Amino acid sequence: MLLPDTALSQGVDVAERIRAAVETLRILLEGDTLQVTLSAGCAQLVVDAADLQALIRIGDERLYEAKAQGRNRVVAASRHAPAA
């Protein structure tokens, strides 16, 4: 999802609200109740990336970090990023 004119912290808030809403869903399928979770990676243009292609790549990398950390979470900073 792209959120124009949105700070990274605001994007994380949106992603976290969506993640929490999905987590509460219970889906009935052929008599079984399924729980669905959501992982997301967030990045901000200019801060994290210089162009849209890089922004999408970084967001995707963070999505995979969220999955590697156990899923059902939002990752907005790479654990591989150098310390500031």
| pLDDT digit string, tens, across residues 50-65 | 899 999 999 999 999 9
60: in domain: yes
Domain span at 65 = 8-75
Query: Under a CB-based contact definition with an 8 Å cutoff, are residues 41 and 64 in contact?
Result: yes
Question: 9-67 pLDDT, tens per residue?
Answer: 999 999 999 999 999 999 999 999 999 999 999 999 988 888 999 999 999 999 999 99
pTM over 0.85: no
Q: Residue 52 and residue 66: Cα distance in Å, rounded?
A: 21
User: Taking the mean position of all CA atoms in its chain, how far away is CA 4?
Assistant: 16
Whether 2 is covered by a domain: the verdict is no
Residue 82 belongs to a domain? no
